[in-house]
């Protein structure tokens, strides 16, 4: 059995302002406006003929969003939650233990959830070659044929230039002169971060080469429990694991490493410039997404999320508009957006963490307006879902139903609120909101009070297990 493992624990800060800590790049429709990167990755494994349900390893904060996206894609998956980020070696070990419970001879296809691969035929052929090696006890990585001297990727040096080769060395991200030398010599590949190996072989090598990681993850997995649709491992045991990548923990030390060359398209979407390379360009070499107008502008990547963006006489820029932030960057410096993210974090602001639209397991809410003593939100509750039973110490709320039907509980009283009807929740009143219908419930919430922070919530019961 070949089991895809989707690594979905990253954030993607170099794609700010679209990617945020609580809305990471793997959950965004970056290339295909109909599917997110993780949905494309999950469906790709099905398209190339893999029938086993994937294992998705993600962090706790993204769990409901990723669960929803997997459900929307129609791909059933085991959703494993990392108590904290420990890099790829422990994450893959968790997946390996889970895979062995399904099949003691399971082969893992490890895929970052944020890569773009459009030539599925060539990718499938490379996987077939890798699986043959994995069946012989090898640990296989895919080396992407370099099309230019990229300095942003690590490289793999092969022992030989044959179709499949043992790995001679892993190389750190080079400077331009070294990258050009690699291209001229041949036998060097971009390190894709994708792997194929048997679950047992990986765990055996991890145990031999990095026993501290193995021991901690083994104990964490032994303490696992199911929480709704998620698999939680023991947080205290997992915390004892060193943080390390599979490259450092295993691949650079093992004598079983093999590289399979991959000649098709591949992109890890590391920054906005990568999306420019992938995008369909107009007659002026602009990539335009959303409501965008240009005049005498060329070589730009412009994406609008919420309003009209107009560009006149500009060249080679990245312009990203969202409801609460606009980024303007020279295309060749697209990766430097990380310095803005660092400034936001240092200043204690929230724009690096959340959008104005915030996703919750029951739906989402979006801030519409706010002042010193008021805040207005648009709230959407999915059919059959319910917010926690809660109260607030510092704010009162008015709910006005725009569409759908709300089942509202205030104190001991529960009643249905229909479209164009409203209800008032006083400060300190225990209350709950549920959508009993078959269509999304949309309402406007008007908060008034001396403090309107999201931490002014006392939850009494919550079906999603939140504190």
Together in a domain, 232 and 371: no
In a domain, 267, yes or no: no
In a domain, 47, yes or no: yes
Query: What string of DSSP letters covers 297-322?
Result: -BS-EEEESSS-EEEES-BSEEEEE-
CA–CA gap between residue 130 and residue 51 (Å, rounded): 17
177 phi, psi to nearest 5 deg: -60, -40
Query: What string of DSSP letters covers 317-341?
Result: EEEEE-SS-EEEEEGGGGGGHHHHH
Together in a domain, 258 and 279: no
67 phi, psi to nearest 5 deg: -60, -45
In a domain, 348, yes or no: no
Together in a domain, 240 and 113: yes
CA–CA gap between residue 446 and residue 441 (Å, rounded): 16
- Which parts of the chain have pLDDT scores under 70? none
In a domain, 385, yes or no: yes
In a domain, 433, yes or no: yes
Say if residues 301 and 337 touch (Cβ distance below 8 Å): no
Together in a domain, 14 and 153: yes
Say if residues 248 and 257 touch (Cβ distance below 8 Å): no
In a domain, 411, yes or no: yes
CATH of the domain at 429: 2.60.120.10
15 phi, psi to nearest 5 deg: -110, 20
What pLDDT score does 241 carry? Answer: 96
Together in a domain, 212 and 74: yes
Domain range for 444 is 357-461
Q: pLDDT tens for residues 22-59?
A: 889 999 998 877 899 999 999 999 999 888 999 999 99
In a domain, 466, yes or no: no
| Cα first-last separation, the chain | 38
In a domain, 347, yes or no: no
Question: What per-residue string of b and e applies to 339-371 under the rule 16 or more CB within 10 Å gives b?
Answer: ebbeebeeeeeebbbbbbbbbbbbbbbebeeee
Last residue of a domain, one of 198, 230, 262: 262
Report pTM.
Answer: 0.86
Per the DSSP assignment, residues forming a β-bridge with 59 are 82
Structural domains of the chain, count: 3
Together in a domain, 126 and 243: yes
What pLDDT score does 182 carry? Answer: 92
CA–CA gap between residue 4 and residue 195 (Å, rounded): 10
CA–CA gap between residue 225 and residue 222 (Å, rounded): 9
* Residue for token pair 């043959």: 132
64 token code pair: 């409901």
Together in a domain, 249 and 286: no
Per the DSSP assignment, residues forming a β-bridge with 377 are 367, 445
Among 260, 222, 270, 267, CA closest to 109: 260
CA–CA gap between residue 105 and residue 99 (Å, rounded): 9
Together in a domain, 145 and 171: yes
What pLDDT score does 12 carry? Answer: 76
CATH of the domain at 249: 3.90.550.10
What pLDDT score does 309 carry? Answer: 98
Together in a domain, 47 and 187: yes
Last residue of a domain, one of 342, 366, 384: 342
Together in a domain, 284 and 321: yes
The percentage of residues in the chain with a pLDDT greater than 90, rounded to a whole number, is 79
Last residue of a domain, one of 309, 342, 375: 342
* Residue 419 CB neighbours (<10 A): 14
Together in a domain, 118 and 166: yes
Residues with Cβ within 8 Å of 87's Cβ and at least 6 positions away in sequence, in order, are 243, 244, 245
Together in a domain, 333 and 423: no
- Dihedral sign, Cα of residue 311, residue 317, residue 318, residue 320: negative
């Amino acid at each position: 059995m070949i089991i895809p493992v989707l690594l979905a624990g990253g954030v993607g800060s170099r794609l700010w302002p679209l990617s945020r800590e609580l809305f990471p790049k793997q959950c965004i429709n970056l290339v295909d406006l109909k599917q997110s990167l993780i949905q494309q990755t999950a469906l790709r494994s099905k398209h190339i003929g893999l029938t086993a349900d994937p294992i998705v390893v993600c962090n706790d904060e993204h769990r409901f969003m990723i669960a929803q996206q997997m459900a929307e894609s129609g791909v059933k998956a085991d959703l494993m939650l990392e108590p904290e980020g420990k890099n790829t070696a422990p994450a893959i070990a968790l997946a390996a233990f889970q895979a062995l419970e399904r099949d003691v001879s399971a082969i893992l296809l490890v895929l970052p959830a944020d890569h773009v691969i459009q030539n599925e035929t060539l990718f499938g052929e490379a996987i077939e070659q890798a699986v043959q090696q994995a069946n012989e006890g090898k640990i296989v990585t895919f080396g992407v044929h370099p099309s230019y001297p990229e300095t942003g990727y690590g490289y793999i040096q092969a022992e030989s230039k044959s179709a499949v080769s043992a790995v001679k060395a892993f190389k750190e991200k080079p400077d331009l002169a070294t990258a050009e030398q690699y291209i001229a010599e041949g036998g060097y590949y971009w390190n894709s971060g994708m792997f194929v190996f048997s679950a047992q072989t990986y765990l055996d090598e991890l145990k031999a080469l990095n026993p501290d990681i193995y021991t901690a993850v083994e104990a964490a997995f032994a303490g696992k429990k199911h929480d709704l649709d998620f698999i939680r491992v023991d947080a205290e045991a997992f915390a004892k694991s060193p943080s390390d990548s599979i490259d450092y923990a295993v691949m650079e030390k093992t004598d079983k490493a093999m590289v399979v060359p991959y000649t098709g398209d591949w992109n890890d979407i590391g920054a906005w410039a990568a999306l420019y390379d992938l995008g369909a360009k107009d007659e002026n070499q602009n990539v335009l997404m959303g409501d965008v107008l240009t005049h005498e502008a060329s070589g730009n990547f412009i994406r609008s999320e919420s309003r009209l963006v107009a560009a006149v006489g500009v060249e080679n820029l990245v312009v990203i508009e969202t409801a609460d932030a606009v980024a303007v960057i020279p295309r060749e410096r697209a990766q430097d957006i990380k310095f803005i993210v660092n400034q936001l974090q240092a200043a204690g602001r929230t724009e690096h963490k959340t959008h104005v639209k915030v996703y919750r397991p029951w739906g989402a809410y979006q801030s519409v307006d706010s002042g010193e003593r008021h805040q207005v939100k648009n709230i959407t509750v999915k059919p059959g879902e319910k917010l926690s039973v809660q109260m607030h110490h510092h704010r009162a709320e008015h709910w006005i139903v725009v569409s759908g039907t709300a089942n509202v509980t205030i104190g001991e009283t529960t009643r249905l609120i229909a479209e164009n009807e409203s209800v008032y929740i006083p400060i300190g009143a225990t209350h709950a909101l549920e959508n009993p219908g078959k269509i999304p419930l949309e309402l406007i919430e008007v908060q008034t009070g001396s403090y309107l922070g999201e931490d002014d919530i006392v939850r009494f019961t919550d079906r999603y297990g939140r504190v």
